[in-house]
Amino acid sequence: MKSLTEKQQNPPIKVKMKIGDIEFEIEAQPDQIQTAVNQILATVAEHSKNIAAAQAERPASLPRAETCRGVIQKLWEENWFGEPKGLDEVHTELARRGFHYDRTAVAHALVDLVKDNILTRIGKPRRYQYAQKRPPT
């Protein structure tokens, strides 16, 4: 065991490092610092490899910034409105495709498409069905 005077002569060394988003701080005796740094660098390298492998397995999905109207218009282009659909069916289909719009936004977009003569509205208020008015070009 080291005496008190030896510890005072060799105070611990502090090392702060930042690699990417990872920060760490080591405090150790001079003869131990290299081993500690090597172990941490090996761990960081392994962590980076694991992240890179996980990202390579699944392609990064790009965020989609599409309007509610634009997505509904794509449904029209696919002839999805060949059979009349209710608001609930349209809202559910959008959610199934990964677009989670408020029901009122869907309703407003449908009304806009009716005004633009893309869709037609059949039925009574609160029970309207929306269908293709004209085929996509």
Report the chain (137 residues): mean pLDDT per 10 consecutive residues.
59 80 81 84 80 69 76 94 95 94 95 95 93 85
Can you give the pLDDT at residue 68? 94
Q: Is residue 128 domain-shared with residue 77, that is, in the same domain?
A: yes
> Are 83 and 53 in a shared domain?
no
Residue 108: how many CB atoms within 10 A of its CB? Answer: 14
CATH of the domain at 85: 1.10.10.10
Residue 35 belongs to domain spanning: 10-57
Per-residue pLDDT at 63: 58
Those residues with Cβ within 8 angstroms of residue 94's Cβ, 6 or more apart along the chain or in another chain: 68, 71, 72, 100, 101, 106
**CB count in 10 Å sphere of residue 73:** 19
68 and 112 Cβ atoms separated by less than 8 Å: no
